[in-house]
Structure 1
C-alpha cells in the first residue's frame, strides 16, 4: 500500500500552474478554466481549446460517438483548418459555463501566463488546432505579453528533452518524448514562463519522488479511469519547511506509469511497453523544481476498455468518456471526476483538505 498524499502547509495555492502533453494538454486547459482562481498559468504542448469535442454534436445519432468523432476529426486532425475548432464559439461556451457556475469566472484569466507549443512535424494533433488554442485564450483576455506561442520547431508529437535515448525530434510515436539536441529541456521553458525567472536546474536531485494512493480522491467511481497511485516530487527545501508552489504535470496518452496495451479489452501483460515512469523522471520537471521550491504533482490516468469506460490508451478525459450521462457531459467542469480528484490533490498539498 502507498501512503496518503502528504500536506505541505507552506504551499502557496494562489500561484499554482499546470502543464501537459496531448490529452494532458487538453486536460490542462480544462483544469485551468475550471479552477482559474487557483491556477495562474498553463503550459499546453499539442493541445486544443476548451470543450472543442462538442463542436458538432450532430456528428452522430449517438452522443458518445459524436464526441469521439469530434475529438478525432475536429480537435486533432481536421481535414482542413476551416473545419477545426471555432475559438470564438468556444469562448462563448466558456463564458456560459462560468455563468452556470460550473467553472470559475473567466475574468481570472486576464493576468495569467500561457505557454503554447505545436511541433511543425506533429501528425497527431495538427498545428492548426493548437493555433486555435492561442486564439481562444487571447479572446478571453490573456495579454499578448503573457502568452508564449512556439510553432517553429520541426518536432513531432512529443514533449522535448535533451536525452540521447529519446525519440528523434520529428517522431510521432510512443513514448512521445523526443530529443532536441543542444537545447534546454522543454519543461524548463514551461516552468520559467509560468513562474518567472528561476534558479538554474539541479544537476543532481536533492528531493524525493514519492508515490501516494490516488484512490481516496476518486473513490470507486467506475468511470474515473485513474490509476491506484499517483506521484509527487518534493524538493528537500520543501521537506525542511520552506515555501513552495505547486505545478501539476499531466502526462499524455500511453504515458502513465501503469500503461499497458489492451487487446479485446484485456491487458496484454506479455507485451508491456517499456515506458514506465519516464514522463515523471526524465522530462526535466524535477530538476527545475528542485532548486526553486516547486512541488510537482504527477496524477496518473489509467487505460480501461470495458462495458463502462472506453479509454484503452490511458488518456485524460477531454471528450466525455467519464461523464455519467454522455448526453449531458460534465468532463470539463468542477463536477468532473478527474478534475475534482486533481483539484482535491492540490488542496491536500496546501494543507486545505
Structure 2
C-alpha cells in the first residue's frame, strides 16, 4: 500500500483506529509518518538503500589503492600495478597469465600465455627497461615504492589459463616486488584444486569443475572464497583467515552504476591512436573501427559498491579496483563475485570498471586449434571475447608495447577512475 500526501496520512490514522494489527503492515517508502494513535514504526520500515547520486566521488584514501581481477582482468590488474607501483599498494590475480607474456602478439597470448603450447620466458627485465625510460613508475633500488603485497590463485585444472602461466605470473611478482605472493592453488576438500576457469565464491552460480555450461565464470566450490582470501592476504595477512567474517550476500540494489563514459572521454580527447578492429576491404566508405573500438572497447557504465561505513565524505576508506574477465557480464560480476561481502570488514570501496560486451567465441580457448600468426596482422586487432587489453589490441604498429605502460588507453581510464574515487567527497 502506498501513502500519498495528507490524504494518505488521514487514511492511515483511520486504519490504525479500526485495526491496529493491520496498520503494522504499512511500510514507508521514503519516510515514516506520525499519526495520533501510535508512531508508524520507523524501525520496522525496511528501506532499500538507493543510489545516493554521488557517482565515483567518494573521498577514498589515495594511500590505500589496490587492484585485482580475473583472467584478462587479472592481467590488466598486474599491468596497472606494475605501471603505477608508486601508488598501488597491493595486487591480486585470479587465473591470470604472466605479466608481459604476450609481447603484443595475439597468437603468443593464446598459444603460450594461456595454453602453454610454447615456452614461457622471464619478463622482469622488460619491467626494468620500461622503468628506466619512464614508461612505468620509477623503481628505486630496483623495487616499487609502494607495491608490497600480492596474491595469486591458479587452479591446476584450469583449461583457459594453464597452471604454468599462473605460476610464471607468481614468479614475476616475486622478482618485481621482492617478496613472494601468497599463491593459492585450491584444495581437495572442496574441489577448488579441480576448478575450471573463473573466480570462486560462495555465491557463485557456475559449477566448480568445468562442465561446458559456464555462464558467469563465478564458480561455487563449497566454502572456497577467492575474494575473502585475497583481501586477507592484501590487507590483514598477520591475523588468521576467518571465513565466518564474510558478510551475508549484499543485495543487488546496493551495487550502484556510475558513468564511466566521462572518464573515457577524457582519455579519448588526447586522441590516442588505436588499432583497427575491422578489416577494411573497401578503403573509402567502409569504417576501420567499430564504435566499440573507438570507445577503447570500454562500456559507458561501470559499477561501485560503497559499504555503509564508507558512505560519509570523511570516511577515507580503502579503494579496491576489481576487473572482470573475458566473456563476463560486468554487472553480474559486480554483484556476485564476492568482493562486496568483505568490503565492510576491511572498510573498502570496491569499484568495478567495465569492458563493453561482444559476441564471444564459444568454447574453452585451449580446446580450440592453435591461433595462427596471421592473427597478429597490424591492420586488425579484434577483441571478440570482451577482454581487457593484455596483449596490445589497442596498439597500432607504431606504438607496440604501449599496453604495458602508463600511456595505455585503458590504464589511463583506470587512473582517471581512481583519481575520481579518491577526490574529496561531499555528503
TM-score range, shorter chain: 0.7 to 0.9
The equivalent of 1:210 in structure 2 is 256
SS in 1 for 2:114: coil
- Pairing of 1:151-190 with structure 2 (within 5 A): 151-152=185-186, 153-163=193-203, 165-171=205-211, 173-181=214-222, 183-190=223-230
Counterpart selection for 1:287 from 341, 347, 359:
341
SS of 2:102's equivalent in the other structure is: helix
Aligned to 2:58: 8
- Assess, with a 3 A threshold, how the Cα gap between structure 1 residues 290 and 326 changes in structure 2: closer, same or farther: farther
8 Å CA contact 2:69–2:324 kept in 1: the answer is: yes
1:316 aligns with 2:388: yes
Give deviations 1:135-168, integer Å, cap 9, x for gaps.
1122224323xx2112242211110112374223
Secondary structure in structure 1 of the residue aligned to 2:194: coil
**Is the contact between residue 113 and residue 142 of structure 1 (CA under 8 Å) also seen in structure 2?**
no
In structure 2, how many angstroms separate the alpha carbons of the residues matched to 1:44 and 1:104? 20
Residues 26 and 297 of structure 1: CA distance in aligned 2, closer, same or farther (over 3 Å): same
| TM-score normalized by the length of structure 2 | 0.68
Structure 2 residue runs of 5 or longer lacking an equivalent are 1-51, 187-192, 272-293, 360-378
- Contact persistence 1:109–1:142 (CA under 8 A): no
Could you say if the C-alpha distance between residues 227 and 288 of structure 1 is closer, same or farther in structure 2, counting changes exceeding 3 Å? same
Q: CA deviation at 1:49?
A: 2.2
In 2, Cα distance between the equivalents of 1:162 and 1:170? 17
Change (3 A) 1:338 1:52: same
**Superposed CA offset, 1:174-209 (max 9, x none):** 42121111x242111111111115992322648932
C-alpha contact 1:7 1:349 (8 A) present in aligned 2 = yes
Match of 2:125 among 92, 106, 109: 92
| Distance (Å, rounded) in 1 between the aligned partners of 2:316 and 2:54 | 21
What residue is the counterpart of 2:296 in the other structure? 224
Q: Verify: 1:117 aligned to 2:153, yes or no.
A: yes
Q: Is the 8 A contact 1:110 1:142 kept in 2?
A: no
Query: How far off its partner does 1:329 sit?
Result: 3.3
Instruction: Tell me how far 1:235 sits from its aligned partner.
Output: 1.1
Question: How far is 1:51 from its partner?
Answer: 1.4
Map of 2:170 onto structure 1: 134
Answering whether residue 41 of structure 2 is matched by residue 24 of structure 1, we say no
Q: Which residue of 2 aligns with 1:68?
A: 106
2:101 aligns to what? 52
The structure-2 alpha-carbon separation of the partners of 1:164 and 1:215, relative to structure 1 and needing over 3 Å to count, comes to: closer
Q: Which residue pairs with 1:331 in the alignment?
A: 403
Q: Distance in 1 between matches of 2:114 and 2:198?
A: 14
Residues 178/30 of structure 1: CA separation in 2 closer, same or farther (3 Å cut): same
Rg (Cα) greater in structure? 2
Ranges in structure 1 where 5+ consecutive residues have no aligned partner: 55-63, 258-276
How many aligned residue pairs are there? Answer: 312
Q: Structure 1 pair 85/102, CA: closer, same or farther in 2 (3 Å)?
A: same
CA distance in 1, matches of 2:403, 2:69: 17
Q: 1:352 to 1:104 in 2, by over 3 A?
A: farther
Report 1:33-52 matches (<5 A).
33-52=82-101
CA contact (8 A) 1:234 1:294 kept: yes
Aligned twin of 2:288: none
Residue 262 of structure 1 aligns with which residue?
Answer: none
Determine the C-alpha separation between the residues in 1 that align with 2:358 and 2:208: 29
**Structure with more of its chain in strand, by fraction:** 1
Q: Quick check: 2:381–2:393 contact (8 Å CA) kept in 1?
A: yes
Is the aligned partner of 1:302 residue 2:350? no
